Amino acid sequence: MDMLPANKLKIHELTRHASFGDGKNNNKKSSSDQFVVVDLKATCWNRDDNKYGVSQEIIEFSSVLVDAATGHPMSSTFHEYVIPTEHHELSEFCKNYNGIKQEDVQRGNGAVTLSEALQLHEAWIQENNNGRGGGGGGGGGSGSGSGLDVNSSAAVVVVTWGNWDCRTMLKQECLRKDLRIP
């Protein structure tokens, strides 16, 4: 096997063990031939800030469609800055660590609430899953192109680099804010 860059290794491992379609070689592409790779960034503090026990909040929600066969990103992306509603001010550590400015997460500059970001992300997935392409997530979302099968209604596969993004951060914040967990 050729060596894959580290950023494609997990996707390759997942696709190598996955089974797509009905087992017939009919060259029909299903939506599970693509992954939605999700990356979240959240509020954070330096150890010296005495913020132990303070709940983090998602402040950036990004996704990209990836072709499962090649591991290459497809043309459609999603990106939203998210307004922190419990701890409005980002720490200096957080701004430096994440590269996000305070003004990025303010309503007047296009940031949305987590609830709105989840709705926009779901609409972006539906748009791409239905093959309409062209837009990238309504509202402040960015992106273009589709890449997903126009005839497919199957669910997309969500991939993250670890449990933190979806199983820890997103789940805990949704529970705390009484939002539907996607």
Look at residues 40, 51, 38 and name the one whose alpha carbon lies nearest to residue 92: 51
The one-digit pLDDT tens for each residue of the chain (182 residues) are 344 344 443 443 443 333 333 334 344 444 457 789 999 999 999 988 878 778 999 999 999 988 888 888 888 899 999 999 999 999 999 999 999 999 999 999 999 999 999 999 999 988 886 553 433 333 344 433 333 333 344 457 888 888 899 989 999 999 999 999 88
DSSP assignments along 24-41, one per residue: S---PPPGGGEEEEEEEE
Q: How far is CA 22 from the centre of its chain?
A: 28
Cα–Cα distance, 159 to 145 (Å, whole number): 20
Predicted TM-score of the model (pTM): 0.71
Nearest to 176 by CA among 89, 85, 94, 66: 85
User: Domain-by-domain residue ranges, the chain?
Assistant: 33-131+154-177
Pairing of strands 34-42, 58-67: antiparallel
β-pairing, 157-159 vs 73-81, is unpaired
Count H helices and E strands in the chain, helices first.
5, 4
Q: Which CATH number fits domain 33-131+154-177: 2.60.40.10, 3.30.420.10, 3.90.180.10, 3.40.470.10?
A: 3.30.420.10
In this structure, the strands spanning 58-67 and 157-159 are unpaired
> Given the DSSP bridges, would you call strands 157-159 and 34-42 parallel, antiparallel or unpaired?
parallel
